[in-house]
């Protein structure tokens, strides 16, 4: 009884504070965009949790290119449009700065590159870019290409394959091997995939908790809003998944070191300045969290793009055929001869296919900033997906049409109205790796295999494009 009374009082107090804030001179004076801040504390998070990407779509249709809302405990302005994105990404440190929801920051840790700021961010990024250099690709390309070729051959014997599961497995293995320098295969990679999926699906949640459910306590008032329990569970799931990932990675890393499979940390991790002090691997949380950060940023994104690529090719035989012709015209006929970095640098149709995939199904739907000129404490999110979907410079935006890029002077994946890798000071440091790997995958797949879509599924887009049900594809050797 006491709890119920307490909760009712708490809710009433929150409602009053909220209504007062809604009418506060701050809100009126700042000439804020249209939209609603929803309920006290939880804002519109519940509606978002149910509708996901449709939530943004509905509001953009109602309010136009810019609207206000309250998500994940932050008052937020969401915008789309190439001009707006350009302003935001080039204004890093002046008009805005990168700012992810508290839940993401707490789960990824302040050490993560995407969570750091100022000189620390600059130094970390410069180091990382030094290691993700042209030499890195030159040295790793043959073995990357071989690994992809072997996997495609395996698929030819297992068909039909579940393309979402298989592409995630392949790109997670490649990220572990080339970005982190650990060989994780088979069952272990599947465990890691499961945990990373739980982590990724739950990382965006309200920054509240109830006692015993995780990493920080909150006031009774917040707890009394029962709906928060749902977010608490999400947070608990993400935290537990992170702890299990730490264990899996620590065991694999210890095994690799004991077997002398690795000569220490990969250059990419050194670039992130991951701590390699004397702390035993299992307790070196800074190192383990840097690895989780890389897997989160560098494997889920590439996997989503790899899935979308294979999915589109299985639906557009004419595109696969044209890719095959391009590969053959470059002398890539004998399957036992691996594709090399030089080959894929000069293949305009391969470029166009990768670019079109990243346009139509960008793996990262939007990015978060906080404003120096918008009200303090507010977040700005720019919608990459909506910008691509509503790009007036592109005809039939929802049609997969790689040919549209054939006479484009811009390099693969970039164009003044496309932002799959963001831009400015926060531009994705993994874009060269991602493009290289996606091009190798495209060439290898199309020159060696015919693809037949056996079972399709609608897609969901949160946090990255993926199928709702299994998508099955027959991969047949040519």
List residues near ligand HEM by CB under 6 A: 98, 113-114, 125, 179, 294, 297-298, 301-302, 305, 363-364, 367, 420-422, 426, 428-430, 433-434
At closest approach, how far in Å is the CB of 114 from ligand HEM? Answer: 4
Cβ–Cβ under 8 Å, residues 473 and 314: yes
At closest approach, how far in Å is the CB of 274 from ligand HEM? Answer: 12
In degrees rounded to 5, what are phi and psi of residue 123? -65, -45
CA-wise closest residue to 385 among 353, 361, 349: 361
At closest approach, how far in Å is the CB of 338 from ligand HEM? Answer: 21
At closest approach, how far in Å is the CB of 109 from ligand HEM? Answer: 13
Q: Which is nearer to ligand HEM, 49 or 364 (CB)?
A: 364
Residue 200 CA to residue 365 CA, distance in Å, equals 14
At closest approach, how far in Å is the CB of 277 from ligand HEM? Answer: 22
Q: Which is nearer to ligand HEM, 302 or 451 (CB)?
A: 302
Q: Which is nearer to ligand HEM, 434 or 445 (CB)?
A: 434
At closest approach, how far in Å is the CB of 428 from ligand HEM? Answer: 3
CB atoms inside a 10 Å sphere around CB 457: 14
C-alpha 330: how far from chain center: 33
Residue 251 CA to residue 394 CA, distance in Å, equals 48
Sheet holding 66-71, edge to edge: 66-71, 74-79, 379-383, 366-371, 96-98
Place of tokens 């298989």: 166
At closest approach, how far in Å is the CB of 367 from ligand HEM? Answer: 3
> 263 CB contacts (<8 Å, ≥6 apart)?
none
Q: Which is nearer to ligand HEM, 129 or 460 (CB)?
A: 129
At closest approach, how far in Å is the CB of 44 from ligand HEM? Answer: 22
Residue 332 CA to residue 164 CA, distance in Å, equals 27
3-state secondary structure of 238: helix
Q: Which is nearer to ligand HEM, 208 or 461 (CB)?
A: 461
Cβ–Cβ under 8 Å, residues 75 and 18: no
Residue 346 CA to residue 283 CA, distance in Å, equals 46
Q: Which is nearer to ligand HEM, 122 or 477 (CB)?
A: 122
Helix (H) or strand (E) holding 118: helix 118-131
CA-wise closest residue to 413 among 301, 332, 315: 301
| Four-CA torsion 446, 450, 452, 457, nearest 10 degrees | -20
Residue 464 CA to residue 210 CA, distance in Å, equals 29
3-state secondary structure of 321: helix
At closest approach, how far in Å is the CB of 20 from ligand HEM? Answer: 33
Residue 5 CA to residue 10 CA, distance in Å, equals 9
Q: Which is nearer to ligand HEM, 105 or 240 (CB)?
A: 105
Cβ–Cβ under 8 Å, residues 256 and 262: yes
At closest approach, how far in Å is the CB of 93 from ligand HEM? Answer: 11
User: Within 175-265, where are the H helices?
Assistant: 186-202, 220-224, 228-258
Q: Which is nearer to ligand HEM, 363 or 371 (CB)?
A: 363
CB atoms inside a 10 Å sphere around CB 129: 14
At closest approach, how far in Å is the CB of 464 from ligand HEM? Answer: 8
Partners of 35 in the β-ladder: 68
Q: Which is nearer to ligand HEM, 60 or 369 (CB)?
A: 369
At closest approach, how far in Å is the CB of 90 from ligand HEM? Answer: 11
Q: Which is nearer to ligand HEM, 123 or 337 (CB)?
A: 123
Cβ–Cβ under 8 Å, residues 76 and 380: yes
User: Which residue is at the shortest CB distance from ligand HEM?
Assistant: 430
Q: Which is nearer to ligand HEM, 49 or 89 (CB)?
A: 89
Partners of 97 in the β-ladder: 370
> 23 CB contacts (<8 Å, ≥6 apart)?
none
3-state secondary structure of 383: strand
Q: Which is nearer to ligand HEM, 48 or 421 (CB)?
A: 421
At closest approach, how far in Å is the CB of 117 from ligand HEM? Answer: 9
Q: Which is nearer to ligand HEM, 301 or 449 (CB)?
A: 301
CB atoms inside a 10 Å sphere around CB 263: 9
């Amino acid at each position: 009884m006491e709890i119920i009374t307490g909760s009712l009082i708490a809710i009433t107090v929150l409602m009053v504070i909220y209504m007062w804030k809604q009418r506060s001179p701050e809100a009126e004076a700042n000439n804020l965009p249209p939209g609603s801040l929803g309920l006290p504390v939880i804002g519109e998070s519940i509606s978002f949790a149910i509708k996901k990407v449709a939530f943004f779509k509905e509001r953009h249709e109602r309010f136009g290119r810019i609207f206000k809302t309250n998500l994940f405990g932050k008052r937020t302005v969401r915008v789309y449009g190439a001009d707006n994105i350009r302003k935001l990404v080039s204004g890093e440190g002046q008009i805005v700065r990168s700012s992810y929801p508290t839940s993401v920051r707490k789960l990824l840790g302040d050490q993560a590159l995407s969570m750091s700021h100022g000189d620390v961010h600059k130094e970390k990024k410069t180091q990382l870019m030094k290691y993700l250099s042209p030499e890195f690709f030159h040295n790793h390309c043959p073995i990357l290409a071989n690994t992809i070729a072997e996997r495609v051959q395996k698929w030819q014997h297992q068909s039909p394959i579940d393309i979402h599961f298989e592409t995630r497995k392949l790109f997670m293995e490649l990220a572990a091997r080339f970005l982190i320098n650990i060989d994780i295969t088979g069952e272990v990679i599947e465990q890691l995939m499961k945990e990373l999926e739980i982590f990724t699906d739950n990382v965006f949640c309200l920054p509240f908790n109830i006692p015993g459910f995780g990493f920080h306590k909150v006031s009774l008032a917040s707890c009394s809003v029962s709906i928060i329990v749902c977010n608490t569970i999400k947070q608990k799931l993400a935290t537990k998944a992170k702890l299990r990932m730490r264990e899996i990675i620590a065991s694999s890393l210890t095994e690799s070191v004991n077997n002398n499979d690795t000569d220490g940390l990969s250059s990419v991790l050194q670039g992130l300045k991951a701590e390699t002090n004397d702390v035993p691997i299992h307790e070196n949380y800074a190192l383990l969290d840097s690895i989780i950060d890389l897997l989160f940023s560098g494997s889920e994104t590439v996997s989503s793009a790899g899935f979308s690529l294979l999915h589109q090719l299985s639906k557009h035989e004419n595109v696969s055929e044209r890719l095959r012709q391009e590969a053959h015209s470059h002398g890539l006929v004998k399957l036992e001869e691996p594709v090399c970095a030089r080959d894929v640098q000069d293949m305009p149709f391969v470029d166009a296919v990768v670019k079109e995939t990243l346009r139509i199904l960008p793996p990262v739907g939007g990015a978060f900033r906080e404003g120096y000129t918008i009200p303090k404490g507010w977040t700005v999110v720019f919608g990459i997906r909506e910008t691509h979907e509503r790009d007036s410079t592109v005809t039939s935006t929802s049609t997969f049409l790689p040919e549209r890029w054939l006479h484009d002077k811009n390099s693969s994946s970039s164009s003044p109205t496309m932002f799959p890798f963001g831009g400015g000071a926060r531009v994705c440091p993994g874009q060269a790796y991602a493009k290289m790997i996606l091009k190798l995958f495209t060439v290898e797949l199309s020159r060696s295999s015919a693809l037949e879509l056996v079972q399709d599924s609608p897609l969901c887009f949160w946090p990255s494009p993926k199928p709702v049900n299994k998508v099955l594809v027959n991969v047949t050797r040519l």
